[in-house]
Amino acid sequence: MAVEIGENMHEDNIGEQVSDELYERLTLIVDKGQEPLRIDKFILNRVVNTSRNKIQTAISNGMVLVNNLQIKSNYKVKPADSIIFYSDNDPETYEIIPEELPLNIVFEDDHVLVINKPAGMVVHPGAGNFSGTLINGVAWYLRQQQPDIDESKLPRFGMVHRIDKNTSGLIVLAKSELAAVKLARQFFEHTVQRKYTALVWGNFEETEGTITGHIGRHHRFRKLMDVFPDGDYGKEAITHYSVLEDLKYVSLIECRLETGRTHQIRVHMQHRGHPLFNDEVYGGDRVVKGTIFTKYKQFVDNCFDLCKRQALHAQTLGFIHPATEKEMLFESELAADMKAVIEKWRGYANHYSSDRS
């Protein structure tokens, strides 16, 4: 049997969550000598970090294809079959306790739910964050609409991607099995439009560019991500950026994601020497660019107080509606803390320019 690791999976980190996208694709080619065998058993024998129940659910949801066609769970594999298995890549499973939480719902219909997430809110339950997450709130909200909702058919109450706790902005969730399948494929195939606004340290020689370099877990500090330019480890990551404003020692930029790796913008920008402003994980919570004068340091500290997290906002989200197949595009206004810190830097840049003229 030949195994092809999909572009969203790498042998060194199978089973580790290193993507903001929640599904990975594994392609299996059946050997010539393979005896007829039910497809769920075949996959179970060859894929780590899965279960027969997960595989059967994936089959019923159209997440298993044989020769590019959907099949039933009693299908028996044949020699040379090409099997595509879209696998849930989050190995950690926690009980989701519905909680009544405020949700800033931007759009909703029978299939999708678009929410503007505030900074500081974790997307889904995990170690140390069992309550108060976006998914806890969504679980309560959906159960008011559908008291008998079957979570096994709508894992994590429709979550198909995620954004960092301290990143604000747009996130889409599925309200139906159809939406879960079709949105997951769009994220995997990188056809979803995602643009972020970020305030980063330093200035750019060019007004636009592209950052490439595989992203994987840091070899020493496993909670951090790192860039591996030669591509021998991690997963391919591509970030397109354009400079919106040069604000003296910082820059306001727009980033368009072609892939969706964990901490992608934060890691790519740090790799280029432009860590996000006040990103305590990747070195942006100190004076990276500027003078040594006390007044300047005090100004920067005041900016940190205005925006107490990495200055990153998921501003644009676009996808094809899973039922109507119409293009959907949403824009989110910058969060208040980012607006405030950007205005403060504008004032500084203008004052500096006037002093120099």
Q: Catalytic residues, which ones?
A: 164
Contact 280, 274 (CB under 8 A): no
3-class secondary structure for the chain? CEEEECCCCCHHHCCCCCECECEEEEEEECCCCCCCEEHHHHHHCCCCCCCHHHHHHHHHCCCEEECCEECCCCCEECCCCEEEEEEECCCCCCCCCCCCCCCCEEEECCCEEEEEECCCCCCCCECCECCCCHHHHHHHHHHHHCCCCCCCCCHHHHECECCCCCCEEEEEEECCHHHHHHHHHHHHCCCCEEEEEEEEECCCCCCEEEEECEEEECCCCCCCEEEECCCCCCECCEEEEEEEEEECCEEEEEEEECCCECCHHHHHHHHCCCCECCCCCCCCCCCCCCCCCHHHHHHHHHHHHHCCCCCEEEEEEEEECCCCCCEEEEECCCCHHHHHHHHHHHHHHHHHHHHHC
Question: Torsion angle, CA of 10/13/18/23, rounded to 10 degrees?
Answer: 60
